[in-house]
Amino acid sequence: MKNLTKLFLGTVSVAGILGFAAPAMAQDAAAAAPAAAPAPAPVPMPAMSGPLTNNPAPISLDAIPGIEDTLGKVYVSAALSGMVMGQTNAHEFPGDRDGYMDLTNGMVVMQKTDGWFQWYVQAGAYSYPTLGAAYTNASNTGSATFGAVPQAWGKVVLSDSFNVIAGELPTLIGDEYAFTYENMNVERGLLWAQEPLVSRGVQANYTAGPFNFSVSWNDGYYSNRYNEISGLVSYGFNGGADTLAVAAEGQLGHTFYGNAGSTLFQNNSSIYNLIWTHTSGNWTISPYFQYTNSDLLHTDSTSGAVLVTYAFNDFWKLSGRFEYVDTSGPANILYGVGSNAFSFTITPTWQYKRFFIRPELSYVSAGSTTAGSALGQFGNDTDQFRGLIEAGVLF
């Protein structure tokens, strides 16, 4: 289910958190031997779709005198990674270049995961390498998007199956998370670029057997105008091997401005997802459909993607993604009025304990473009190749 929503794994109930606890250690043959101390429970956030995994034993501040009495048990984890990237047909007009060496994540996460009141804070520097879009350095991304604290919230746990959270929340929309290390691929995709990413608001979450429900009132694409309602319903079946999710977000009124790079189309549109995730042996396969529509601009887009990961062993995994986006209407929301595009990305991953390396190759091809609105120096090229290597450590 962690592939189905950028948030629900971070809002599980106390029982759900305990369900992720490490298995008990084997008992010593000698009955008189003292019992081993249990390993710390893995933290539920940041949510990870794989192939990378969170640190299963993050630092706990309860060892510091006075901390646990004041704050409770607080876990601290971190992600530090950087990349080297080269590309063809760079968007030179907005300042894009043929090559980059940059930080992708310099993030610290603190969270409290037990008790009736829980909280989560993620802070630091980050960047969003996105297919077919000009790259923004990590030094500028925060100020242009969500600041130095892109995600933070408090959570009130009312029962094992019901909780409410409020703050700067990951979106319920789409099948890819915010930061590079959370996803199958390093670069964010064409569908991801259409979706909200972080919204300020309040959200209720409820679990009933194989069903999970979330509903949120928020500011959509970080517009600071609280006129969006989003929701997610997911159903697990086939012994947990399959999950089907439906997500949607729509506005209660029009917004004629935005922050975090959002557009007039995004701030005045509705967006819908149908996502299926299947796991079988070494395979994880997640196809999803996305539709966006703006009555204000009389413009829409229809998109589809398939995300796949195959695990060769505990260290090596291979992920791939294929996407297609088609637009219609009088507004330009891609590479010109009525344009379309497809992309292909392949990402091998090697992870040893907390260290990882991920080379990646990607290709974007645009069709029915408008001169000046596509790729390349003057916006007239219709394809782009990229190659990159991301390496880092998850503390």
What would the DSSP string read from start to end of 221-240? TT-S---EEEEEEEEEEGGG
- Determine the residue type at 360: E
Could you tell me if residue 231 is inside a domain?
yes
Would 2 be classed as within a structural domain? no
Residue predicted with more confidence, 253 or 308: 308
| Region class of 255: left (phi > 0), else alpha (psi between -120 and 50), else beta | beta
First CA to last CA distance, the chain: 23
In a domain, 321, yes or no: yes
User: Between these two residues, 12 and 237, which has the higher pLDDT value?
Assistant: 237
**pLDDT greater than 50 at residue 44:** yes
Check whether 36 has a pLDDT greater than 60: no
Mean pLDDT computed over 175-196: 96
Confidence of residue 4 (pLDDT cuts 50, 70, 90): very low
State yes or no: pLDDT of 256 exceeds 80.
no
* Distance in angstroms (rounded) separating the CA atoms of residues 75 and 55: 11
Looking at mean pLDDT, say which of 2-6, 39-43, 214-218, 266-270 comes out highest.
214-218
Q: Give me the pLDDT at residue 299, please.
A: 96
pLDDT band at residue 37 under the 50/70/90 scheme = very low
- Distance from C-alpha of 363 to C-alpha of 320, rounded to nearest angstrom: 12
Show the DSSP H helices in 30-158 as ranges: 67-71, 138-144
Separation between Cα atoms, residue 49 and residue 181, nearest integer Å = 9
Q: Look-up: residue for tokens 């829980």?
A: 118
User: What pLDDT sits at residue 69?
Assistant: 57
342 or 63: whose pLDDT is higher? 342
Average pLDDT for residues 271-281, to the nearest whole number? 97
Q: Please write the tens of the pLDDT for every residue from 96-107.
A: 999 999 999 999
| DSSP state letter for 40 | P
Average pLDDT over residues 161-179: 97
* pLDDT of the residue at 262: 78
Give the residue with greater pLDDT, 30 vs 245: 245
Read off the pLDDT band of 39 (50, 70, 90).
very low
Evaluate if residue 1 carries a pLDDT over 80: no
**332 and 361 Cβ atoms separated by less than 8 Å:** no
pLDDT score, position 358: 98
166, 137, 133, 185 alpha-carbon torsion, rounded to 10°: -70
Of 108-117, 209-218, 261-270, 370-379, which gets the smallest average pLDDT?
261-270
| Token pair recorded at residue 333 | 């929301």
Residue 1 counted as domain residue: no
pLDDT at 68: 60
For the domain that residue 329 is a member of, what is the CATH number?
2.40.160.10
Report the chain's mean pLDDT, rounded to a whole number. Answer: 87
> Whose structure tokens read 């344009």?
339
Using DSSP bridges, classify how beta strands 242-251 and 211-218 pair: parallel, antiparallel or unpaired.
unpaired
Q: Which domain holds residue 272?
A: 8-394
Tell me if 317 is assigned to some domain.
yes
pLDDT of 3 higher than 50: no
Q: In percent, how much of the chain has pLDDT > 70? A: 85
φ/ψ bin of 19: left (φ > 0), alpha (ψ from -120 to 50), beta (otherwise): alpha
Q: Answer whether residue 45 shows pLDDT above 60.
A: yes
Residue listed under structure tokens 């891609």: 334
**What is the value of pTM for the model shown?**
0.85
260 — pLDDT class (breaks 50, 70, 90): low
Whole-number pLDDT of residue 196: 94
b/e 60-96 (16+ beta carbons within 10 angstroms → b): bbeeeeeeeeeebbbbebbbbbbbebebebbbeeeeb
Q: What gap in Å lies between CA 322 and CA 342, rounded to an integer?
A: 7
Asked if the structure places residue 390 within a domain, the reply is yes
Q: In a 3-state reduction of DSSP, which class is residue 58?
A: coil
Q: How many residues does the chain have?
A: 395
47-93 per-position pLDDT tens digit: 888 899 988 888 888 756 666 656 678 999 999 999 999 999 998 76
For the chain, what is the domain count?
A: 1
Q: Which amino acid is at 348?
A: P
What is the mean pLDDT of the segment spanning 268-288?
Answer: 96
Average pLDDT for 180-203: 96
Quote the pLDDT of residue 8: 37
Is 3 among the domain residues?
Answer: no
**Comparing 20-29, 78-87, 88-97, 339-348, which segment has the lowest mean pLDDT?**
20-29
Q: Residue 263 — very low, low, confident or very high, per pLDDT cuts 50/70/90?
A: confident
Q: Facing residues of 365 across strands?
A: 342, 383
Instruction: Determine the pLDDT at residue 281.
Output: 94
Rounded to an integer, what distance in angstroms lies between the CA atom of residue 262 and that of residue 259? 6
